[in-house]
């Protein structure tokens, strides 16, 4: 707990996620995302209402969690799919997962290392918590759009290649 995680933040990695988030929102959803200053998240706080979780394997470990307020998620999905899905429908969850997959996948392309990403799991439920790796900085990238705010939480680190 006394580890100085702040000094371990990989700013180049965070920049890839900022770039990817802006690109995906602009090209795939038609929405401009403004990004506020990324910051370290220290504690287990409730996440927003809708979270997409992408796990990393191979030469990266950890996860990226993209978390939306309900109404922001609904509006972004509507802009992305042209459909107004019910929040409890599979189609809504699929669309949120696809947005998260594109953001994580686009950033991963530029890592230059051999990492795998899992198919996103989408969690829906008010005030749920999603836990993180404690020995890796969890960097929150706050994003603002015309439909409201969401956050991209990057909680991954490089590992030495191992046999799987």
Stretch touching a copy of itself by CB under 8 A, among 4-12, 14-22, 24-32, 84-92: 84-92
Candidates 5, 28, 115, 144: give the one binding a copy of itself (CB under 8 A): 115
Asked if 107 touches a copy of itself (CB under 8 A), the answer is: no
Q: Does 3 bind a copy of itself (CB under 8 A)?
A: no
Residue 25 structure tokens = 């929102």
Q: Is residue 38 a contact point for a copy of itself (CB under 8 A)? A: no
Which C-beta is closer to a copy of itself: that of 33 or that of 96? 96
Closest CA to 52 of 44, 64, 60, 41: 64
Please give the Cα distance from 147 to 89 (Å, whole number): 20
**C-alpha angle 15/76/22, rounded to 5°?**
20
116 C-beta neighbours (distance < 10 Å), count: 12
Q: How many of the other CB atoms lie within 10 Å of CB of 114?
A: 10
Q: Which residues bind a copy of itself (CB under 8 A)?
A: 44, 46, 53-58, 61-63, 65, 88-90, 93-94, 97, 114-119, 121-134, 164
């Amino acid at each position: 707990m006394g580890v100085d995680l702040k000094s371990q933040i990989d700013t180049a990695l965070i920049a890839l996620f900022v770039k990817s988030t802006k690109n995906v929102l602009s090209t795939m959803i038609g929405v401009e995302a403004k990004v506020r200053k990324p910051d370290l998240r220290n504690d287990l706080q409730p996440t927003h209402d809708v979270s997409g979780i992408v796990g990393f394997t191979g030469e990266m470990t950890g996860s990226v969690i993209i978390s939306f307020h309900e109404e922001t998620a609904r509006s972004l999905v509507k802009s992305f799919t042209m459909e107004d899905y019910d929040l409890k429908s599979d189609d809504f969850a699929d669309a949120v997962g696809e947005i998260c997959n594109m953001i994580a996948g686009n950033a991963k392309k530029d890592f230059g290392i051999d990492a795998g990403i899992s198919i996103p799991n989408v969690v829906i439920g008010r005030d749920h918590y999603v836990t993180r790796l404690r020995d890796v900085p969890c960097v929150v990238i706050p994003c603002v759009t015309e439909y409201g705010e969401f956050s991209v939480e990057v909680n991954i680190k490089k590992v030495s290649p191992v046999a799987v």
